[in-house]
Amino acid sequence: MNKLGRGHRDKVQQFMTITGASEKVALQSLKASDWHLDGAFDVFYSQPHPKSFTDTKHLEEMYNRYKGKLTINHPYADMIMADGISTLCNDLQVDPQDIVMLVVSWHMKAATMCEFTKQEFVGGLQSLGIDSLEKFRERIPFMRSELKDDQKFKEIYIFAFGWAKEKGQKSLALDTAIGMWQLLFEEKEWPLVDHWCQFLQARHNKAISRDTWSQLLEFARSVDPTLANYDAEGAWPYLIDEFVEYLIENGIIEKGRVM
Amino acid sequence: MNERKTIDLEQGWDFMQKGITKLKNILEGLPEPQFSSEDYMMLYTTIYNMCTQKPPHDYSQQLYDKYRESFEEYITSTVLPSLREKHDEFMLRELVRRWSNHKVMVRWLSRFFHYLDRYFIARRSLPPLNEVGLACFRDLVYQEVNGKVRDAVISLIDQEREGEQIDRALLKNVLDIFVEIGMGQMEYYENDFEASMLNDTAAYYSRKASNWILEDSCPDYMLKAEECLKREKDRVSHYLHSSSEPKLLEKVQNELLSVYATQLLEKEHSGCHALLRDDKVDDLSRMYRLFSKIPKGLDPVSSMFKQHVTAEGTTLVKQAEDAASTKKAEKRDVVGLQEQVFVRKVIELHDKYLAYVNDCFMNHTLFHKALKEAFEIFCNKGVAGSSSAELLATFCDNILKKGGSEKLSDEAIEDTLEKVVKLLAYISDKDLFAEFYRKKLARRLLFDKSANDEHERSILTKLKQQCGGQFTSKMEGMVTDLTLAKENQSHFEEYLNNNPNVSPGIDLTVTVLTTGFWPSYKSFDLNLPAEMVKCVEVFREFYQTKTKHRKLTWIYSLGTCNINGKFEPKTMELIVTTYQASALLLFNLSDRLSYQEIMTQLNLSDDDVVRLLHSLSCAKYKILLKEPNTKTISPTDYFEFNSKFTDKMRRIKIPLPPVDEKKKVIEDVDKDRRYAIDASIVRIMKSRKVLGYQQLVMECVEQLGRMFKPDVKAIKKRIEDLITRDYLERDKENPNLFRYLA
């Protein structure tokens, strides 16, 4: 996209807005018609697209239903904001705090918590093959089940860090991190999660780095909750080392045994 | 020459037989005239003739056989019977005599038959005459008697070991037979004699040692062992073959030392520990001499040495610790003296045991290592909350400053400094020492407290040698700065003389320092009194004439002032710090000031104001009167000039106690360490690109070890920080692996 000239770029944008097609498809169609918009539309609509069965018009309508109102506070709010999301949750009959909303955000590749840009929303639903609220609602149980898949869970876990942190920050505020962990590990059932959160509040009280975030999942997955196979000489982030010390100091864990 | 007459075998041999009989008679000591050269020539010629006749009259082969038969006949008829009837020592004597006779016989007969050697034997590659002659003795005599001879010899050796006199020359001669019979090969000596002798020796000393180890103290045992080894060595030089020495000594050492090493070294009241405790240097030297000879023999000795030195050092630490805790209740000022004594004692301990290593233990690396490890253990313990790095820096300061607690001659100072620097080698936190040292050096230099410039430079040279140029570059810069500052001051005075229109109004001395060499100080904090502001202006102008691109930063907290106090009884000169002077000068304009007013006018922090007002109103000299009149300063206090103040001196110094800088020094060092670790990790990763965690930590510790011992946890934190800052990343597959991000 960046390699394109201004005129071409505008055409791609226009094409995508009208058809709801992805950037790739837009480029293909425009190139095929030698950058004539009308020709490109012909190309696009005359070809059977695997994703075109999602009715872009419906998606557009859905987006418009949730997108933020242009107010003085949000003059540029061409995106779905917190209010819209809570309406969406209502329509889906899902609690906004439900972890499945994280999975939804993951599918939409949302950059930030409580926000969907139009591209994220429309693109995400398209790739999920959803073009109506009905279908959306039907897909919720499937998305919930995706958390059970180890590989997907890991992707979602890693995604959650970037999604939850404040824009422009390198690390994740402790409160947010703790909230996310409690949410995620409820799913994954790591028995030490409460101790971990208590430890962080008592001893650390600082933001969490990306490295610590991703290593904690590794720790929860590979180290036995009794710490029997924990290697103090290993490369675990120091915060995790200190957590282990804390567990032993406080008699929560003793010689490979949960007290 | 005429045609020669042919000699037949019978006839020729008859003639030869006569000569041989004559030789035998001579050997047996029967009356017989010596061989004349004519006799000899005749015999030789006969052989020559018989061998040079045309076949079938060439009798070479027959003569060669008869030559051997002559020996065999003589041995069977005469030698063996005479040996068989004798026993023990007499048998040995007889053997020696017979062997020496035999050698004479071989010599003579081989001369008679010499022509055989030259042609017949050479052409047919047969054993030469000499060898044939000796082999006869070996095959017939030696093979029969060597067992008996060996036993007799060993029994004589054992008798000598028990202190009896024996005929050493006889043994020497007998053992020479074992060697000579080999005709250049040592196997007869080794197999027929040496092996049994060694076994017997082992058995002998095994018996001895098992008694001695029970009865004797460790020193006595070692004396005996050393004596035994010496005597065995003598034995070799007197009658054994020199090749036996290492084998023999090895046997003895094994039985006396290796077998009982642990038992001997650990003897409760006389073992290695006791010897070290009682300073038995002679016995320790002996122990080294003995145990250096057996394989791995020194390991237990050096490890006991290490234990002993560690225990002694730890006792010193504990003593100092105890002394400090009893002192704490008393005055704070005297604290420090104990630590001073402690360092002195550690130096003495080091002197003592270094001498042990050099003298008793012959400079052996194993003992140098033990000494180093022992000192590293207790030197890094620290005393009463002060790290040993700080203690050493304080110790140096005390020696180098004017009026320190140590009164020493120049040589003694040099010597002590040398030793302190040596101790520094054992301290792992060398960077902490450097920082403390720099702080104290700065005080010595800036407050003119350094006793001797030469000593200052000399210890820097020593530190440089030991720790490298980087370690001392800042300190050297400081010393140089001060020399330059003196020059600069004289230029300034010249400048004032040449420009009478500019005058600072008061005498002003400025020390210009280079930022970076010196510890960091607070600057530009104080609201300077007008008088002094002018000084600063004048100096700044002067300084600009000298240099264009340098920025002057004033550090008032290091300044001192001499001011006149006009008290009612008399005018006095007060030596105070710039802070104190600024506070006092406020009272030229107002009679009475509140704490708050003073603080605002001076623009100082609470800490500083409390400290300086305390020194002026609550300490020894009460230049200011405080309301209410209590011992501590509170923000609600009021102050007034004490015009009645006086003292018997005309000039007094009002000290301002320095802030305790320990915490700041430690923090500074900590911060520097973070940078050092970062730099080291990046350096390593830049060259390695991908590296496992363990190895990264190891290399990092190794790189930084010269300056300090980095904490593994600290390294880990730095690694994580570098990950956050995108210098490194964790490998996606293996979390123990790090990659460098260029």
Domain harbouring A217, CATH code: 1.10.238.200
Give me the CATH number covering residue B697.
1.10.10.10
pLDDT tens digits, residue range B500-520?
A: 887 777 888 889 998 889 988
CA distance B478 to B311: 40
Average pLDDT over all residues of chain B:
86
CA distance B404 to B413: 12
A159 plus A231 within the same structural domain: yes
B504, B539 in Cβ contact below 8 A?
Answer: yes
What pLDDT is recorded for position B3? 57
B633 plus B730 within the same structural domain: no
CA distance B578 to B566: 18
Phi, psi of B190 (to 5 degrees): -70, -45
Interchain CB distance below 8 Å, B736 and A234? yes
Indicate the DSSP class of residue A217: H
Query: What's the number of domains chain A is made of?
Result: 3
Q: Is residue A185 part of a domain?
A: yes
Indicate the DSSP class of residue A169: -
Q: Which residue has the tokens 């890094």?
A: B380
Interchain CB distance below 8 Å, B730 and A215? yes
Q: Is residue A243 part of a domain?
A: yes
Mutation target among B720, B732, B736 for the A interface, most CBs of A within 10 A: B720
Tokens of B613: 């007002």
A157 plus A141 within the same structural domain: no
Q: Where are the alpha helices (DSSP H) in chain A?
A: 6-19, 23-32, 37-46, 56-66, 82-92, 100-107, 118-128, 133-146, 150-164, 174-188, 193-199, 210-222, 238-249
B625 plus B673 within the same structural domain: no
B85 plus B192 within the same structural domain: no
Where does the pLDDT of residue B461 fall: very low under 50, low under 70, confident under 90, or very high at 90 and above?
very high
A68 plus A138 within the same structural domain: yes
Spatial CB neighbours of B510, under 8 Å, sequence gap ≥ 6: B485, B488, B489, B492, B539
Strands of B651-653's sheet, edge to edge?
B560-566, B571-577, B651-653
B207 plus B112 within the same structural domain: no
Q: Is residue B467 part of a domain?
A: no
Q: Is residue A255 part of a domain?
A: no
The better pLDDT of the pair B479, B628 is held by: B479
B565 plus B683 within the same structural domain: no
A164 plus A141 within the same structural domain: no
What pLDDT is recorded for position B263? 87
High-pLDDT (> 70) share of chain B, %: 98
A109 plus A181 within the same structural domain: no
The mean-pLDDT minimum among A45-54, B31-40, B614-623, B662-671 falls in A45-54
DSSP state string for B499-538: -TT---SS--------TTTSPP---S-S---HHHHHHHHH
Q: In this complex, which of A170, A238, A241 lies closest to B724 when CB atoms are compared? A: A170
What pLDDT is recorded for position A255? 55
What pLDDT is recorded for position B738? 92
A239 plus A160 within the same structural domain: yes
B701, B659 in Cβ contact below 8 A?
Answer: no
Phi, psi of B645 (to 5 degrees): -60, 140
DSSP state string for B243-267: THHHHHHHHHHIIIIITTHHHHHT-
Give me the CATH number covering residue B645.
3.30.230.130
Interchain CB distance below 8 Å, A238 and B717? yes
B45 plus B119 within the same structural domain: yes
B19 plus B135 within the same structural domain: yes
What pLDDT is recorded for position A52? 46
B43, B50 in Cβ contact below 8 A?
Answer: no
Interchain CB distance below 8 Å, A235 and B735? yes
Indicate the DSSP class of residue B558: G
What pLDDT is recorded for position B711? 86
Give me the CATH number covering residue B241.
1.20.1310.10
A156 plus A245 within the same structural domain: yes
pLDDT at B90 > cutoff 70: yes
pLDDT at B151 > cutoff 70: yes
Q: Is residue B348 part of a domain?
A: no
Q: Is residue B446 part of a domain?
A: no
B206 plus B133 within the same structural domain: no
Task: Please give, rounded to a whole number of angstroms, the shortest distance from the CA of B618 to a CA of chain A.
Answer: 43
Spatial CB neighbours of B267, under 8 Å, sequence gap ≥ 6: B217, B218, B274
Is B193 strand, coil or helix?
A: helix
CB pairs under 8 A between A and B: 34
What pLDDT is recorded for position B674? 92
Interface predicted TM-score (ipTM)? 0.70
What pLDDT is recorded for position B333? 44
A42 plus A63 within the same structural domain: no
Show the 3-state SS of B103-171.
Answer: HHHHHHHHHHCHHHHHHHHHHHCCCCHHHHHHHHHHHHHHHHHHHHHHHHHHHHHHHHHCCCCCCHHHH
**Positions in chain A short of pLDDT 50:** 51-52, 259
The better pLDDT of the pair B335, B429 is held by: B429
Mutation target among B715, B718, B723 for the A interface, most CBs of A within 10 A: B723
What pLDDT is recorded for position A49? 53
A108 plus A86 within the same structural domain: yes
Q: Is residue B671 part of a domain?
A: yes
Residues from A in contact with B at Cβ < 8 Å: 170-171, 209-212, 214-215, 218, 233-235, 237-238, 241
Look at residues B613, B636, B653 and tell me which one is the last residue of a structural domain: B653
Question: Cβ contacts (< 8 Å) between A233 and chain B: which residues?
Answer: 694
CA distance B167 to B153: 11
B635 plus B718 within the same structural domain: no
B52 plus B111 within the same structural domain: yes
Tokens of B141: 């005599």
DSSP state string for B336-373: THHHHHHHHHHHHHHHHHHHIIIIITTT-HHHHHHHHH
Query: With the CA atoms of B130, B133, B136 and B137 taken in that order, what torsion angle do they form, in degrees rounded to the nearest 10?
Result: -90
The parent domain of residue B241 ranges over 187-295
The better pLDDT of the pair A36, B150 is held by: B150
Q: In this complex, which of A233, A234, A238 lies closest to B720 when CB atoms are compared? A: A238
Q: Is residue B171 part of a domain?
A: no
The mean-pLDDT minimum among A35-44, B180-189, B299-308, B529-538 falls in A35-44
A175 plus A120 within the same structural domain: no
What pLDDT is recorded for position A251? 78
Give me the CATH number covering residue A141.
1.10.238.10
B367, B357 in Cβ contact below 8 A?
Answer: yes
A166 plus A138 within the same structural domain: no
What pLDDT is recorded for position A51? 47
pLDDT tens digits, residue range B346-385?
A: 999 999 999 999 998 998 999 999 999 999 998 888 777 7
Phi, psi of A252 (to 5 degrees): -80, -35
pLDDT (mean) for B218-237: 90
What pLDDT is recorded for position B104? 86
Task: Please give, rounded to a whole number of angstroms, the shortest distance from the CA of A239 to a CA of chain B.
Answer: 9
Quick one: A116 exposed, middle or buried, by C-beta within 10 A (0-12, 13-18, 19+)? buried
A104, A87 in Cβ contact below 8 A?
Answer: no
Q: Which of B215, B299, B198, B297 is nearest to B252 (CA)?
A: B198
B605 plus B700 within the same structural domain: no
Question: Cβ contacts (< 8 Å) between B717 and chain A: which residues?
Answer: 238
B378, B423 in Cβ contact below 8 A?
Answer: no
B14 plus B119 within the same structural domain: yes
Question: Cβ contacts (< 8 Å) between A215 and chain B: which residues?
Answer: 730, 735
Helix H or strand E encompassing B446 = helix B430-446
The parent domain of residue A96 ranges over 56-146
Is B736 at the interface with chain A, CB within 8 A? yes
Q: Is residue B394 part of a domain?
A: no
pLDDT tens digits, residue range B254-281?
A: 988 888 888 888 888 888 888 999 898 8
pLDDT tens digits, residue range B539-552?
A: 888 888 888 788 88
Q: Is residue A254 part of a domain?
A: no
B573, B651 in Cβ contact below 8 A?
Answer: yes
Interchain CB distance below 8 Å, A238 and B716? yes
Look at residues B123, B144, B165 and tell me which one is the last residue of a structural domain: B144
Helix H or strand E encompassing A80 = strand A79-80
B721 to chain A: closest CA residue: A209
Query: What's the number of domains chain B is made of?
Result: 4
Look at residues A89, A111, A146 and tell me which one is the last residue of a structural domain: A146
Helix H or strand E encompassing B571 = strand B571-577
Look at residues B244, B275, B295 and tell me which one is the last residue of a structural domain: B295
The better pLDDT of the pair A21, B498 is held by: B498
Is B716 at the interface with chain A, CB within 8 A? yes
Bridge partners of B624, per DSSP, are B641
Helix H or strand E encompassing B739 = strand B737-740
Q: Which of B271, B272, B298, B313 is nearest to B361 (CA)?
A: B298
Q: Is residue B425 part of a domain?
A: no
